[in-house]
Structure 1
Amino acid sequence: MRATPLLDGAIAGAVGTAALNMVSYLDIVVRARPASIAPEESARRLAEKAHVDLGPGDKAVNRRSGLGALLGYGTGVAAGAAFGLLAARRRLPLPVAAGVLGGGVMATSDGSLAALGVSDPRTWRLNDWVADIVPHLAYGMAAATTWNRLRPPSRRGG
């Protein structure tokens, strides 16, 4: 059975998300900075908006931590799947595909942070933007490279 562009895109998105996480953790190690609380805070605010009780005290903290990570993976996989549907019939040059993928995930992530009131990217300093851009570039390169590997020119079109 042949994989579909949607599935191949989702796989590419998962690989991209792993790359994004690795680069983010490397940044934590190199700069000795704390991990971002944005994923957990996004999970908390989404749960509030959906009227979902995450439980008392430590249970809620742990659930927010897990949900925050899952939201990140969901965003990365969904973006890869969407890219798979859009790019199934045309081969984009690697830098263009990487830019579309990385930029799309970054816009989605940063847009959701702003929409939920977790952070306002308009107030970020240069080092905040660099810390955001570099992992998203890693996402884009890893996802685009994986996509091209899974969908060579002879497999385009379905």
Structure 2
Amino acid sequence: MTGVEGATLLEPGDGSLGPLLRVTDDRLPPGAGYGVHAHRAVDVVAVVLAGSVTHRWGGGAVIGTGDVGLLRAGTGLEHDEVAGPDGARVLQSHLRPAGAVAAPAHEVLRAPRGWVDLGRPDARLWLGEDGGDVPDGVVLRPGGGVVVVWWVDPARPDWAG
């Protein structure tokens, strides 16, 4: 692999999944990145399935296997994510922002399990292992025994017009 390889797992395009716009399964070889790019008015939830990525924006942050990176692009930012020495496999979910556009922010949640608090009423993320009690929702099984579930409210918030 010489560059980022990605597969779109979900992209309804019709708003049927409320705030959930797209989910991709991205694989990055060691040292590869997406390249500096801009986001505005979108939340990006990155679940690192293997390896690590360094988020290059603000103070920067290393996000390792099992961690979740929560980027709120808000009014806009330019950033990059670069794979660590073992490369990375990242499940990236793009969501309509939870509220009116605010300042950009980034947070790393270290190895959460079960329901993950994303600080928004219209989308919840669940992370766990296959074979247990998996909740209802948009269920993704990217492999390796990992299960990712999105619960989303399909209604459009008043502020979104």
Q: Same fold (TM over 0.5)?
A: no
More strand by share: 2
TM-score interval for Structure 1 and Structure 2 normalised by the shorter chain: under 0.3
Of structures 1 and 2, the one with the larger relative CO (CA 8 A, separation 6+) is: 1
Q: Give the alignment's TM-score, normalised by structure 2.
A: 0.24
> TM-score, normalised on structure 1?
0.24
Structure exhibiting the larger radius of gyration computed from Cα positions: 1
